[in-house]
Amino acid sequence: MTNQGIPGPKPVFFLVAAIHPREIVSAEIATRFVASLLANYGADPDVTWILDAHEVVVVPIANPDGHKLAEQGYMQRKNANTSYGGDCADPPEAGNHFGVDLNRNFAFQWGTVAKPTIGVCDQTFPGPTPASEPETRSLQALVESLYPGHTAPVVGEPVGEDTSGVLISLHSYAEKVLWPWGYTSDPPTDGPALQQLGERLAQFNGYTPQQAVRFYPTSGTIEDWAYGTLGVASYTIEIGPPPDRLNYCSGFMPPHECLDIANGVGFWGENAPALQYAARVARSPYGQPGGPQVRSVAVVSDTWPLLLTATLDGGQQPVLAAEAYIGKAPWDGGTPLALEPLDGAFDSPLEQAQLVVPWHGAPATAGTDQWVAGGGREPQNEPVLALVRGQNAAGTWGPMHAAWLSDGAGGGGDDQVFWTWLPLMLAPEEGPVYR
């Protein structure tokens, strides 16, 4: 998904689900993510910016023949390949069934933890050879095509803030956010940066962030492969309460209502903001998550010029600057407009800032070319996107937040109050959202 009216290449967020088909909530969340982006494009400013400036690629069911068995109620984890022999349970049982664990089959450190000698019927049988399965080879080819020019990280050399791309593989159930490595307890060279984004994602869904091996050792997973061969910032999200806190939303096949329980929170409500955030930082996943978060952006006006206000959260670090771009991001040649701190100085971790937007009546300041948004939107006809970001004391710029700039009357300057709030993107308080 992307706005094809805006040429690329664009940073890519790749979401894959149901590699393990019995983990049925993963396909539901992936499908809803697609639907939510399509439904809110043109209305929600962040969603609009995500699809204007990024590519979002979703494989909602990566294991279709296995999923067919899960749809019949069988606890099928692997694919349905019966060609490697064995005398596996048929119909399938949770701990004994035909097939290859696709998330042990990827061609990176294959067989080092999940060894092919464990038995064909075992839940984590990795296949006879690396990438032996057509599903695995298709996913590897797809991901490689999405990240051209990406190369394997060199030990001791961080891949750097210019390396784009985020990959998330959805699973259930454990309430975890996991990053490479799974095959070794050694942290990767980019461990601190991977942890930084992992902890950000966990702030949204309330899950436990940790290196994958600390959950349990694995090898041949898609996230170890994608980071290990392409340097893509890669994560597993384990949706749903873990076995030690069993409730009726635990397990591989919880009731459908667990997606939306508790006034719209539930699995979808707690994970949707994390997935949006992953898309928003796909340009610089190793950099932007270290910068301030824009907690809210509002455009308030009853006359021209418009007034834009923003709340910035630097976490442990003071916010030292904030800026807005109108229509064009800095990497597209946009011109920064500095926000002013409401309390007179940028010096604390939480800052409110504002910008008097020099549009109507002051085109000489803004430059008319700034007002042409991506996709051919023009302020005379349609609202344009304002992009806001903050910088912390370490010099790191955080991810962009978008808001609509509009006078509500097609550029005619009519008096009107125009608010844009971003409730989906407000991070929850520290700690679990739902258990």
20 vs 283, beta carbon nearer Zn ion: 20
User: Which CB contacts under 8 angstroms, 24+ apart, belong to 195-202?
Assistant: 196/289, 196/290, 197/166, 197/233, 197/235, 197/278, 197/281, 197/285, 197/286, 197/289, 198/235, 200/277, 200/281, 200/289, 201/177, 201/235, 201/237, 201/274, 201/277, 201/278, 202/177, 202/274
Footprint of Zn ion on 23-62 (CB under 5 A): 23
Beta strand 401-405 with 55-59: parallel, antiparallel or unpaired? unpaired
Of 160, 177, 166, 210, which Cα lies nearest the Cα of 54?
166
171 vs 328, beta carbon nearer Zn ion: 171
Footprint of Zn ion on 279-338 (CB under 5 A): none
135 vs 407, beta carbon nearer Zn ion: 135
Place of tokens 């926000």: 339
DSSP state, 348?
S
CB of 301 to Zn ion, least distance (A): 49
DSSP state, 152?
P
CB of 434 to Zn ion, least distance (A): 20
CB of 97 to Zn ion, least distance (A): 14
Stretch that binds Zn ion, among 5-13, 164-172, 210-218, 242-250 (CB under 5 A): 164-172
CB of 170 to Zn ion, least distance (A): 8
CB of 22 to Zn ion, least distance (A): 8
Among 10, 20, 78, 150, binds Zn ion (CB under 5 A): 20
20 vs 377, beta carbon nearer Zn ion: 20
Determine, following the binding rule CB under 5 A, whether residue 176 of this chain makes contact with Zn ion. Answer: no
274 vs 387, beta carbon nearer Zn ion: 274
CB of 152 to Zn ion, least distance (A): 25
214 vs 262, beta carbon nearer Zn ion: 214
User: What is the rounded (10 degree) CA torsion for 11, 12, 13, 14?
Assistant: -160
26 vs 288, beta carbon nearer Zn ion: 26
Query: Are 89 and 36 in contact, with CB atoms under 8 Å apart?
Result: no
Neighbouring-strand partners of residue 136: none
Of 365, 358, 379, which Cα lies nearest the Cα of 305?
358
Residue type, position 248, single letter: Y
71 vs 343, beta carbon nearer Zn ion: 71
Helix (H) or strand (E) holding 200: helix 191-205
Query: Are 220 and 152 in contact, with CB atoms under 8 Å apart?
Result: no
Stretch that binds Zn ion, among 169-177, 224-232, 381-389, 409-417 (CB under 5 A): 169-177
Of 159, 215, 214, which Cα lies nearest the Cα of 192?
159
CB of 23 to Zn ion, least distance (A): 5
Helix intervals (H) in 281-430? 363-366
Preceding omega of 181 cis (within 30 degrees of 0): yes
Stretch that binds Zn ion, among 21-29, 253-261, 402-410, 411-419 (CB under 5 A): 21-29
171 vs 176, beta carbon nearer Zn ion: 171
Residues binding Zn ion: what is the number (CB under 5 A)? Answer: 3
Stretch that binds Zn ion, among 3-11, 12-20, 175-183, 353-361 (CB under 5 A): 12-20
Sketch the per residue contact string, 243 through 282, with Zn ion: x for CB under 5 A, - otherwise.
----------------------------------------
23 vs 223, beta carbon nearer Zn ion: 23
Of 299, 371, 370, 423, which Cα lies nearest the Cα of 44?
423
Determine, following the binding rule CB under 5 A, whether residue 171 of this chain makes contact with Zn ion. Answer: yes
CB of 407 to Zn ion, least distance (A): 49
Determine, following the binding rule CB under 5 A, whether residue 78 of this chain makes contact with Zn ion. Answer: no
Query: Are 214 and 179 in contact, with CB atoms under 8 Å apart?
Result: no
* Residues within the interface to Zn ion (CB under 5 A): 20, 23, 171
